[in-house]
Copies of this chain bind each other. A is one copy, B any other.
Amino acid sequence: MTLSGKLIDDKVVMDRQAVEELYATSFYGRPKGDTLELSLTESAYLIYTGKISVVSGEEELDFKRFFLRASSIVKNFELLYIVYKDMRERGYYIQPSVTGFRVYPRGGHPGKTPAEFFVFVTSERIPLSLSDLRANINTVENLKKRLILAIVDEESDITYYEVRRTTLSGSCELKPERSLSVASLLEDRVMVWEPEISHLLHSEWFFGRPMDEGHLQLSLVESCYLLNKGILGIEQRDREALDPARFSALASSIEPDFLIKYRAYEKLRDSGLVPKTGFKFGTHFRVYKNISNISSLQHSDYLIHAVAHDHVFLLQQFSRAARLANSVRKEMIYAAVNGGVEFIVIGRVRL
């Protein structure tokens, strides 16, 4: 039997019978006194499945009419509908929330279990600011839930990502005692000329890349770190010595995002991790938790990309980064650089 409801503003209001038939058995809507209130998303789905019919004034709204109406009332209605339908049909009970939806764990439902995750629904076309993402993480972490990002692409396919904060640490400890050598800043990299120092820096502490048996090339972030720690002096080709401030300024002129990148590098190194360039993966760093021997370099654990606190993600890039990390069995992590450095993992999930 089809129950009948009324479209009032951005809700559909059903009478008492619906509380029994829709809420008590299948957890659609929210009981309000003697009535049941449905969101437009829930209503469209219930019209589609033939469980309810809806009138607006005198007019009965079929699926097409209701959908067009809802789409002009609720921003991103189509996206919400697609995700709602997908999750319902995977057997989840799901309720509206501030971020989009609250989702109950399999086997759970409202009144029996707490919600397990909050789903934030968006389109691949909508840029996502890091500050909005962090605000969502905060909201959800305060409630001790998991945050899921549901990104709907232009063909209405949904990809689900879990997003969470993490802390990182590794086992590589530097024991700097004294300044070891003076290296030269060339065009956009630094060269260590002494064979023994090259060997120590590379084989023991995993810095740089040997150009040949005697000479080691260091990247700008590596050089800056060694300079800051007092392990290495650096001079220009004309033999003018560079202090850390001057080196950073030069490095920033070579590489515009040098400072953001360096802050992440420093944090990782200080935490015992070994970051090496992630260029081949299109990120700033690939990162090793443990390196025991430089000649048998194992699989790196993370791909890490440093972003400034006011960064705005294009979801296409976000998606590509997560996909690539997944295909090489690494975790994709963004290092959000502000006062400190905060690590945010994103990973595709199958619900």
Contact = CB atoms under 8 A, between A and B. Distances in A.
Given A72-B237, A189-B154, A159 B208 contact: no
Nearest to A81: B211
A125 B282 contact: no
Most buried by B among A64, A184, A219, A279: A279
Interface in A135-159: 151, 153-157, 159
A134 interface: no
Interface stretch (A15-23, A27-35, A318-326): A318-326
A209 interface: yes
A328 interface: yes
B187 A217 contact: no
Interface residues of A, number: 59
A82 B339 CA distance: 38
Contacts of A319: 279-282
Main secondary structure of the interface of A (DSSP, over half): mixed
A281 B220 contact: no
Contacts of A191: 67, 78
Contact of A282 (B68, B85, B123, B320): B320
Contacts of A64: 184, 193
Interface in A94-114: none
Contacts of A186: 68, 71, 77-78
Contact of A280 (B159, B215, B221): B159
A179 interface: no
A124 interface: yes
Contact of A82 (B151, B211, B237, B324): B211
Given A85-B212, A255-B125, A189 B282 contact: no
Contacts of A8: none
B282 A316 contact: yes
A306 B189 CA distance: 33
A76 interface: yes
Given A187-B71, A187-B77, A209-B156, A280 B323 contact: yes
Interface in A67-92: 67-68, 71-72, 75-79, 82, 85
Contact of A187 (B63, B76, B211): B76
A212 B45 CA distance: 11
Contacts of A68: 184, 186, 237
A317 interface: yes
Interface in A307-335: 316-317, 319-321, 323-324, 327-328
A276 interface: yes
A215 B184 CA distance: 66
By Cβ-Cβ distance, the 4 closest A-B pairs, closest first, are A282-B320, A153-B279, A154-B219, A327-B327
Given A154-B189, A154-B221, A283-B320, 8 more contacts: A48-B212, A78-B217, A82-B211, A125-B254, A125-B255, A155-B217, A155-B277, A157-B280
5 contacts: A124-B279, A155-B209, A156-B189, A159-B279, A323-B324
